[in-house]
Amino acid sequence: MGEDLGKVKKQIEELRDKIRYHNHLYYVLDNPEISDYKYDNLMNQLIDLEAKHQELITPDSPTRRVGAQPIAAFGTITHTIPMLSLNNSYSIEELRTFDLRVRRSLSLDEVQYISELKIDGLAVSLIYEGGQFVRGATRGDGFVGEDVTHNLRTIRSIPLRLSGEFSHLDLEVRGEVYMSLKDFQRLNEEKVSVGEEPFANPRNAAAGSLRQLDPRITANRRLNIFLYGIAYVRGKEFSTHWEELEFLRKAGFVVNPESKLSSDIKDVISFCEHWGDMRDRLPYEIDGIVVKVDSLVQQERLGFTAKGPRWAIAYKFPPKQVKTRVKDIIIQVGRTGALTPLALLEPVEVAGSIVSKATLHNEDYIKEKNIRIGDMVIIQKAGDIIPEVVKVLKDERQGNEDPFKMPDICPVCGGEVSRSDGEATKRCLNISCAARLKESLIHFASRDAMDIEGLGPATANQLIDAGLIHDAGDLYHLNEEMLLKLERMGDKSVENLLKAIEESKGRDFSRLLIGLGIRHVGKEGAQLLARHFKSIETLKSATFEELKKIHEIGDVIANSIVSFFKEERNLYLIQKLKEVGVKMGIEDSTELSTKELPFEDKVFVLTGKLETLTRGEAQKRIEELGGKVSSNVSKKTDFVVVGEEPGLKYDRALELGVTILKEPKFLELLDKPIEKKAVRLSFSTLLE
DNA sequence: GCACCTCGAGTTCA
DNA sequence: CTCGAGGTGC
């Protein structure tokens, strides 16, 4: 009996190896001779055997790719190293500027670049522990993504287990999940044949497939992946990006074969131009070229900005352009009173979606492009998302097109409109303008502000039109009876909305500040103010001079804050909010969200005298940012901050190889929110 | 006074 | 995502 089992085990192992080899040929070597039929055949044999001998099923068996049950919802995964996005460039000229900046910063005449095709899919991160694929996540906002492990397992080009010398490794790699044009067409034909809406483009199809709760659906969608980067490989060091790509290939991942190493920007540019012409011949869609500095040492020296690495840039191909007609131009009034002209267009399809509107920004923009109502225009999607009018086809004018004139009064309230010096926008000055109130309310409830779920533009409109509320303060006096009268408001939505409103009372102080809508005070500014003033009372009584003392706050912002608190209407609103129990200050130290805690769980030791801060202040700042200060250097210490005349702790830090921060660098980390993300990055790398 | 970098505000569609 | 404007540092 035992012998039989051994035999079956061997048989199963053989089948698994054959299937893996098949996958390798199909995906890695892209061999067209490989048939799906043979794959299915092998898989079926394996499934049968495993069904009979369930004790022999291992987590890396190819059958496990499809075995998972549907899940109820996606979990989230915090990336150990953030998945930052890249700066974009839309012209060859910008590539040259990029090159100049890189070489100037490095003080080098020559820099090696790697150019890679930019696959139009969605970025994911794959985590392996002990050579096993254990978790995978989408990019999300770069810091926290969705756990899509169950769906990634169905992608046959993702090895469930690394083989040979890699079989024990812990690593995290980054790649782009995409759907080939062939599979995209096949999928859409299928969808249409069963009466469903087809996907607009392969990227949407890939994204939609990866976000399926049921992995069996994903498995049928034939997703694919190219790996292009390494977050870390425990115990391994690389010196160039090219080496990283080589490693990925050897470890069994699929790396795009078209990457190219160049020793000057001219070569990079011709690579971009070449693929700009040839992109249609590829079996998958690309939307540009990613250019990276090859040397990792140089990458580190260049560092990051808030937007992304300074050592890489994405060259985007010119977007698809489409012709349509401007049916009309209307005016929208924003919460700050800004009058924004909006072109209503004859609906057309552009890059996978139907476009019927495009912003015209302001009157100068219209004048400069000479846009008239009735004109035929060329439109495109900037960054593949936001429609914009590129130019007017003047040759096609019939003579009956109307020039557009910005109104001299507010189209909503009829109030006075003005355009102050140097400003591009005209604004309605009436602080009680219905449009402004409405927009302010929407802003108050929005995600970055008080985050009241269920209170979007539509509901806000209903509430105001029904006369139920006049400002944000009234929200907190709504009750069931009032809401049930509204259209499309059932028991459930009323209950949810009231609950959401109630919950918003306890939102962080900074969110309230965003919600109030003080001009020039957004997310960052509000957090800055909340940290400095701690309560609405202290902020209200702050003088222009006090405000200006704060780093990042200049004349304009200080002025705007002071005048906000002089306005009767605003004081009244604050009063009302306070009365109903909305939180008006920082009450405890938990207010800083994880995003602002770049020093979380990091242990600092201070030694020597600092020039700009006292010990106490430095300690306070570190703790505010989530770090701990300890008095002795040990293996657990992450950073030693060194001032003038450092003591023995400095020697001990050198001994233990703890990272040493001199004062200027330390201050930079404390002060510059931008650098914080980069700090997180180096933390994680240091942990390895 | 200029160059550079951030942030705020407005925006579209599925 | 982009534009414009604010703030800072050279």
**Which residue ranges make up each domain of chain A?**
2-57, 88-316, 323-406, 434-504, 509-593, 597-686
Give the model's confidence band at A116: pLDDT under 50 very low, under 70 low, under 90 confident, else very high: very high
Per-residue pLDDT tens over the stretch A625-640? 666 777 677 766 777 7
Per-residue pLDDT tens over the stretch A266-294? 999 999 999 988 988 999 989 889 999 99
Per-residue flag: A356 CB under 7 A of strand B: yes
Please name the residue whose C-alpha is nearest to the C1' of nucleotide B4.
A305
Per-residue pLDDT tens over the stretch A86-101? 888 878 888 888 888 8
**CATH 3.40.50.10190 for domain A597-686:** yes
Q: Tell whether the torsion through CA atoms of A330, A358, A306 and A80 is positive or negative.
A: positive
Per-residue flag: A307 CB under 7 A of strand B: yes
Per-residue pLDDT tens over the stretch A470-518? 889 999 999 988 888 887 788 888 888 898 899 899 898 999 999 999 9
Q: What Å value separates CA A361 and C1' B11?
A: 9
Closest nucleotide to the alpha carbon of A365, via C1': C3
Query: What are the DSSP calls for A415-462, one per residue?
Result: -BEE--TT-S--EE--TT-HHHHHHHHHHHHSTTTT--TT-SHHHHHH
CB A609 within 8 A of CB A645: yes
What pLDDT score does A69 carry? 60
Mean pLDDT of A241-266: 94
Catalytic residue among A9, A38, A52, A118: A118
What pLDDT score does A247 carry? 96
Please name the residue whose C-alpha is nearest to the C1' of nucleotide C3.
A361
What pLDDT score does A130 carry? 93
Helix (H), strand (E) at residue A39? helix A36-52
AA identity, residue A120: D
Per-residue pLDDT tens over the stretch A40-97? 777 777 777 877 887 877 777 777 766 556 665 677 788 887 787 788 887 888 888 8
Give the model's confidence band at A444: pLDDT under 50 very low, under 70 low, under 90 confident, else very high: very high
| Superfamily of chain region A434-504 | 5' to 3' exonuclease, C-terminal subdomain (1.10.150.20)
Per-residue flag: A330 CB under 7 A of strand B: no
Does this model's pTM top 0.85? My answer is no
Instruction: Output the CATH code of domain A323-406.
Output: 2.40.50.140
Q: Encoding tokens for residue A301?
A: 């020296």
Residues of chain A above pLDDT 70, percent: 83
Examine the residue annotation and report whether A118 is marked as an active-site residue of this protein: yes
CA gap A488, A481 in Å, rounded = 14
Per-residue flag: A45 CB under 7 A of strand B: no
Q: What Å value separates CA A515 and C1' B9?
A: 14
CATH class, A88-316 region: alpha beta
What pLDDT score does A305 carry? 66
Per-residue pLDDT tens over the stretch A238-252? 999 999 999 999 999
CB A345 within 8 A of CB A379: yes
Per-residue flag: A515 CB under 7 A of strand B: no
Query: In this model, does residue A593 exceed pLDDT 70?
Result: no
User: Which residues in window 444-503 of A are less than 7 A from strand B by Cβ?
Assistant: none
Please name the residue whose C-alpha is nearest to the C1' of nucleotide B13.
A353
Among the listed ranges A1-15, A263-277, A480-494, A528-542, which one has the minimum average pLDDT value? A1-15
Per-residue flag: A306 CB under 7 A of strand B: yes
What pLDDT score does A672 carry? 42
Closest nucleotide to the alpha carbon of A672, via C1': B6
pLDDT, averaged across chain A: 82
Out of 3.90.1200.10, 3.40.50.450, 1.10.287.610, 1.10.3720.10, select the CATH number for domain A2-57: 1.10.287.610
Per-residue flag: A521 CB under 7 A of strand B: yes
AA identity, residue A332: Q
Mean pLDDT of A347-354: 80
Please name the residue whose C-alpha is nearest to the C1' of nucleotide C4.
A424
| CA distance readout (Å), A262 to A92, A107, A115, A118 | 16, 18, 8, 17
What pLDDT score does A620 carry? 64
Q: What Å value separates CA A304 and C1' B4?
A: 14
Give me the phi and psi of A426, to 5 degrees please: -90, 145
Query: What are the DSSP calls for A242-268, one per residue?
Result: HHHHHHHHHTT--B-TT-EEESSHHHH
Q: What Å value separates CA A354 and C1' B13?
A: 8
Closest nucleotide to the alpha carbon of A520, via C1': B8
Query: In this model, does residue A37 exceed pLDDT 80?
Result: no
Q: What Å value separates CA A569 and C1' B8?
A: 23
Protein residues contacting strand C, judged by Cβ under 7 Å = A 85, 88, 90, 361, 364-365, 382-386, 422-425, 520, 551-558
Mean pLDDT of A595-616: 64
Closest nucleotide to the alpha carbon of A560, via C1': C6
**Topology match between the domains A434-504 and A509-593:** yes
Out of 3.40.710.10, 1.10.150.20, 1.20.1630.10, 1.10.390.10, select the CATH number for domain A509-593: 1.10.150.20
